[in-house]
Amino acid sequence: LTITQFRIIPFVGQIPWPYQFDPSPDEVAHVFSVPMQWLMDPNNLEVRDRQPIPTGPKVPVYYFQPYKGEVIWGATARITLNFLELSRPLLE
């Protein structure tokens, strides 16, 4: 569950590269990519505390630095970090 209580179930797949994406404009604004090595660099990650509700405790929110104008943050950043953690043994 996210801090806003949404349940997200990520899926991972392998796509041959390069690939011509054809996303539905009703669902996807645009597609971008970020190299895994860049994402794995701890200098590109920042953690900020956020208080989601007035009486609740502060929670960490993850932000990657901008990459070519794109910022990955919040639940997407946390999912990305979990994926990188699981992938690290395969990449070393």
Q: What are the start-end ranges of the H helices in the chain?
A: 36-40, 74-91
Res 55 pLDDT > 80: no
Predicted confidence band of residue 2 (pLDDT cuts 50, 70, 90): confident
Q: What angle do CA 80, 91, 35 make, to 5 degrees?
A: 50
- Model pLDDT, residue 6: 87
Better-predicted residue by pLDDT, 11 or 44: 44
**pTM, two decimal places:** 0.81
- Under DSSP, is residue 61 helix (H, G, I), strand (E, B) or coil? strand
Q: What are phi and psi of 30, to 5 degrees?
A: -165, 165
- Model pLDDT, residue 25: 95
**Residue 60 DSSP one-character state:** E
Give me the mean pLDDT over the 16-24 stretch: 93
Instruction: Tell me if 48 sits within 8 A of 65, measured CB to CB.
Output: no
- Under DSSP, is residue 67 helix (H, G, I), strand (E, B) or coil? strand
Predicted confidence band of residue 13 (pLDDT cuts 50, 70, 90): confident
